[in-house]
């Protein structure tokens, strides 16, 4: 990370500040975001992460976007927690495919102590492969967070999803206070925080403003900020939501970059439905991490060859690595 001449991170942003950034002319916003990005990160580098569902379906939460909720009929069969050796093999395969970070997600409301030994073993297995590690397992107690931190877990993901005002339209089985309690336990244990949200759930711009304001007024900022575009799932309450336009998505990325200059801003779910032009603009305004691999928990993701072609055309490289080899366009 560079950041020698960047302004110090702020946690005193007002909602008016955030709304004002969204309202900037697009070119002005893009220039400001790109300037901040280059002050803090190497230009044209993107971290590659891979995400594995280690326990799928049957979740008791009612998050209105989620195919894994037991409240909705989505046709997804529930499964048990994966075997540690199977997770190790997937992590090894992810690294061989170019991933630098390996993320593991379980469809739980909270972690049960009986599962903690297997989770600790998974973290150690991923770290032994030389990968950065992240987990998203629902709510954590302070002792559980310490156990995962002691095992070497680098990041814990726990998203706020949306603005405080729209939150109740998305989920009612877990409060924002519940989420912040888990984030506090993660920080207290010494792990880095991965925390972001979702756009395209029927919210308005004021909710995207509120979501980023809620993220940027945390102190310290989340070290990783995933911005998801909703992948609509038949059978979920939010599955028929109108997606946000490409330029509005890029604006959200740009504002996140300005507000949280030292955070890794990740284009998370939704790339399967994004044009290459949308993704190129998102990288231009400061996105510097993506998920690779053909699945994100239960939804699709662009094929690796497609990402390689896009990276080659844009002149991007994996963080700390060589540029992708140029390949012919179809």
- Catalytic residues, by residue number, are 59, 63, 66, 103, 134, 194, 266
What is Dmax (Cα atoms) for the chain? Answer: 53
Closest CA to 252 of 217, 300, 224, 287: 287
Q: Please say whether the beta carbons of 145 and 191 come within 8 A.
A: yes
As a whole number of angstroms, the distance between CA 149 and CA 186 comes to 8
The two structure tokens encoding residue 135: 């987990």
Closest CA to 80 of 47, 56, 109: 56
For 72-123, the DSSP string reads: S---PPP-PPPPHHHHHHHHHHHHHTT-SEEEEEE--SB--GGGHHHHHHHH
In the numeric block, the tokens 């955030």 are attached to 18
DSSP run (H or E) holding 214: helix 205-216
Q: How wide is the angle at C-alpha 90 spanned by C-alphas 87 and 300, nearest 5°?
A: 110
Hey, how many other C-beta atoms are within 10 angstroms of the C-beta on 204? Answer: 12
As a whole number of angstroms, the distance between CA 192 and CA 169 comes to 28
As a whole number of angstroms, the distance between CA 246 and CA 129 comes to 36
Give the number of C-alpha atoms closer than 13 A to the C-alpha of residue 77, restricted to the C-beta side.
2
């Amino acid at each position: 990370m560079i950041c020698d001449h960047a302004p110090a991170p702020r946690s005193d942003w007002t909602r008016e500040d955030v709304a004002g950034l969204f309202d900037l002319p697009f070119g002005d916003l893009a220039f400001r975001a790109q300037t901040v990005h280059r002050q803090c990160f190497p230009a044209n580098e993107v971290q590659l992460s891979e995400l594995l569902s280690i326990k799928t379906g049957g979740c008791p939460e009612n998050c209105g976007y989620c195919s894994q909720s037991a409240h909705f009929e989505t046709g997804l069969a529930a499964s048990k927690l994966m075997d540690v050796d199977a997770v190790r093999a997937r992590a090894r395969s992810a690294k061989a495919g170019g991933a630098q970070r390996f993320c593991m997600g379980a469809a739980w409301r909270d972690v049960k102590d009986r599962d903690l030994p297997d989770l600790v073993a998974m973290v150690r297995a991923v770290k032994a492969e030389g990968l950065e590690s992240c987990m998203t397992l629902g709510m954590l107690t302070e002792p559980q967070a310490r156990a995962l931190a002691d095992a070497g877990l680098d990041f814990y993901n726990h998203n706020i999803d949306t603005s405080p005002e729209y939150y109740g339209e998305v989920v009612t089985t877990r409060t924002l206070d519940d989420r912040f309690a888990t984030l506090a336990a993660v920080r207290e244990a010494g792990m880095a925080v991965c925390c972001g949200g979702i756009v395209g759930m029927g919210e308005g711009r004021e909710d995207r403003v509120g979501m980023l304001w809620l993220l940027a007024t945390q102190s310290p900022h989340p070290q990783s900020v995933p911005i998801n575009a909703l992948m609509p799932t038949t059978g979920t309450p939010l599955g028929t939501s109108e997606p946000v336009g490409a330029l509005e998505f890029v604006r959200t990325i740009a504002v996140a970059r300005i507000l949280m200059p030292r955070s890794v801003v990740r284009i998370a779910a939704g790339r399967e439905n994004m044009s290459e032009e949308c993704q190129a603009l998102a990288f231009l305004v400061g996105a510097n991490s993506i998920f690779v691999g053909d699945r994100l928990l239960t939804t699709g993701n662009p094929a690796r060859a497609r990402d390689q072609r896009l990276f080659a055309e844009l002149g991007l490289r994996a963080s700390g690595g060589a540029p992708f080899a140029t390949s012919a366009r179809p």
